[in-house]
Amino acid sequence: MFGYYLELAVRSLRRSPGLTALMILSIGFGVAASMTTYSVFRGLSGDPIPWKSSRLFMPQIDSWGPGDRFHDEPPDALDYADAMALMRQHRATRQSAIYPIGPSLMPTNTGRNRGPVELDGYAVYSEFFPMLDVPFHYGNGWSVDDDVSQLPVAVISDKLNQQVFGGGNSVGKTIDIDNHDYRIVGVMRDWNLQPRFFDIEGGYYSVDGPDVFLSFRHSVAINMINAGWDGCRKGASDPQGDFVGLQNSDCVWIAYMAELDDVAAVQRYRQYLDDYASEQQKAGRFRWAPNNRLRDVPAFLDHEHIVPSDTKVSLLVAQGLLIVCLVNTVGLLLAKFLRRSGEIAVRRALGASRKAIYAQFLTEAGVIGVGGGVLGLLFTIMGVFSVDQVLPASYAVLARIDPSLLLLTLLLAVTATLVAGVYPTYRASRVQPAWQLKAS
C-alpha cells in the first residue's frame, strides 16, 4: 500500500508545482538555517578530549578570601606559591602547572625565517604531554630530570618545524628563542584541542595550534614573562610586567591540571586540597575556611560558560525561523489538502477508512519533507562553508560537515514536515463524504 500512496503523493505534488516548490523551499531553508548554526554551536561546545576529559581535573584554591570572591567561587587560576606547592607534593597521577608565553623565534643563518617571529606557546612540566596524549611526529616530551635541572628544552609544532628546518626530523637540533638556545626534544603532529581548556582566560579558541612548549622551571628561571591573563585582589598592587614581583604576589596567573584515575583518587585529591588550605589557614596565610573546587574538563568548561552568547542567540533565532517555516508549511498543506475535499469524499464513499486517508496524506507530507531535506542538505553545506563570512575564523573553523550532521539534517526535515502535516491530515480525514457529494 505504501507504494500506492507514494504514487498518489507524487501525482498530487506534480499537479501544483508552484505550491510544492514553495513548501520544499520553506522546509529546506528553515532546516538549513537551524543546522548551520547548530554545526557552529556543536563545534564550540564540544568535548575537546572526550576519551580522557573525565580524568582531567582543574583544581581551584581560594587564595583571596570572601571579600574578593565572585558568587562564592575561588579564582580560576592559581598563584605561584600554591601552584609550586601542589607540584612539589605531587598527589595526582600526572600533573602540570601551565602559563602562556609569547616568545620570539630569532633569525638564524640556516633557518628559513628572515626576522623575529612571535610564537604562541606555553611553559609546562614534562607530564603535560602524556597527560594530554599529545601526538608526536618525531621524538617526545622532555623528562622529569630535565624539569629538575631546568634545562632549555623545547617541543615544537610540525608547522614551526617546517618553517625553521624545512621539515624532517629536527630532534636534537637547536632553535633560538628570545636569544636562548633550546634543544628540540620533540616535534608534534597537528594538535589543536578546541576549546583550549588549559589556557585560563587566554582565549579558548584558535585557528592554529600552539607553536612551542618550553620547560616551566627553565622559563621561570630566565624570567620569561606571562603572556596571558593575571588577576589580583581588589586593592592589591598589580606587578605590571614585573615577573619576579608576580611570582611573589598573590595574583593568580597559572593554570593547573591534574590527572586522576578513578572516583577514589578524586575524593583523595579533593581532601588533599582542603587539608592544604587548612594548613595555610593555620600558618596565617589564609584567614578563611577552605573554599576549593575540583572540576573535570566538561564541568570546568561549563563553569566558564565558554560558548559565546551570540552563538547561542543565533541558534535560538535559527530554531525560531524553522518554527515559522513549519507554521507556513502547515498552512500550505492545510489549504492543499482541503482543496481536495471532493477527492477525499469519493475515496471515503468507496470504502476508504480514515486511517487510509491519514496514510495517504502523511505520505505526501513525507515526500515534501524528503525534498526539503535534500534542499536543506545543499543549503547546510553552503552555510557551513560560508560561516567564516559572518563569524571569527577561530569559530568558523570548528563548523564542519560530517555524516552525522547530514543524516540529522535529513531526519529533521522529514520529521518536521510530518509533524507539520499532522493537523492538515487530521482535517482532511474529517471530511464528511455525504456533505461533499451532495454539494457536488
Residue 40: pLDDT band (50, 70, 90) is confident
Q: Which amino acid, 161?
A: N
**DSSP assignment string, 404-430:** HHHHHHHHHHHHHHHHHHHHHHHHHHT
Task: Say what the pLDDT of residue 188 is.
Answer: 96
Q: How far apart are CA 231 and CA 114, in angstroms?
A: 36
Residue 436: pLDDT band (50, 70, 90) is very low
- What percent of the residues of the chain are helix, what percent strand, and what percent coil, each to the nearest 5? 50, 15, 35
pTM metric for this prediction: 0.79
What does DSSP assign to residue 179? Answer: T
Residue 78: pLDDT band (50, 70, 90) is very high
Average pLDDT over residues 72-94: 94
Average pLDDT over residues 377-389: 87
Q: Give the strand pairing for 212-215 and 121-124.
A: parallel
Q: How far apart are CA 380 and CA 348, in angstroms?
A: 41
Chain mean pLDDT for the chain? 86
Q: How far apart are CA 61 and CA 210, in angstroms?
A: 27
Closest to 229 (Cα-Cα) out of 253, 195, 256, 257: 253
- 426's CB contacts (< 8 A; 6+ apart) are 358
Closest to 362 (Cα-Cα) out of 273, 427, 433: 427
Q: How far apart are CA 150 and CA 218, in angstroms?
A: 5
**DSSP assignment string, 281-319:** HHTTS--S----EEEEHHHHHHHHT-S-HHHHHHHHHHH
What does DSSP assign to residue 6? Answer: H
Question: What is the share, in percent, of the chain residues with pLDDT greater than 70?
Answer: 89
In the predicted model, is pLDDT for residue 440 greater than 80? no
157-166, 257-266, 324-333, range with the lowest pLDDT: 324-333
Q: Give the strand pairing for 180-188 and 174-177.
A: antiparallel
Q: Which amino acid, 362?
A: L
Q: C-alpha angle with apex 397: 394 to 402, nearest 5 degrees?
A: 155
Task: Say what the pLDDT of residue 340 is.
Answer: 66
In the predicted model, is pLDDT for residue 433 greater than 50? yes
Average pLDDT over residues 376-390: 87
CA distances from 25 to 28, 47, 278, 322 (A): 5, 34, 65, 12
Q: Which residue has the higher pLDDT, 90 or 112?
A: 90
Contact 368, 417 (CB under 8 A): yes
Average pLDDT over residues 63-89: 89
Contact 374, 398 (CB under 8 A): no
Question: What is the share, in percent, of the chain residues with pLDDT greater than 90?
Answer: 40
- 353's CB contacts (< 8 A; 6+ apart) are none
In the predicted model, is pLDDT for residue 47 greater than 50? yes
pLDDT tens digits along 206-255:
888 899 999 999 999 999 988 877 788 776 666 766 888 889 888 899 99
Q: C-alpha angle with apex 381: 380 to 383, nearest 5 degrees?
A: 60
pLDDT tens digits along 276-293:
999 999 999 998 999 999
Task: Say what the pLDDT of residue 422 is.
Answer: 83
Task: Say what the pLDDT of residue 156 is.
Answer: 96
pLDDT tens digits along 246-285:
898 888 999 999 999 999 999 999 999 999 999 999 999 9
117-126, 305-314, 370-379, range with the lowest pLDDT: 305-314
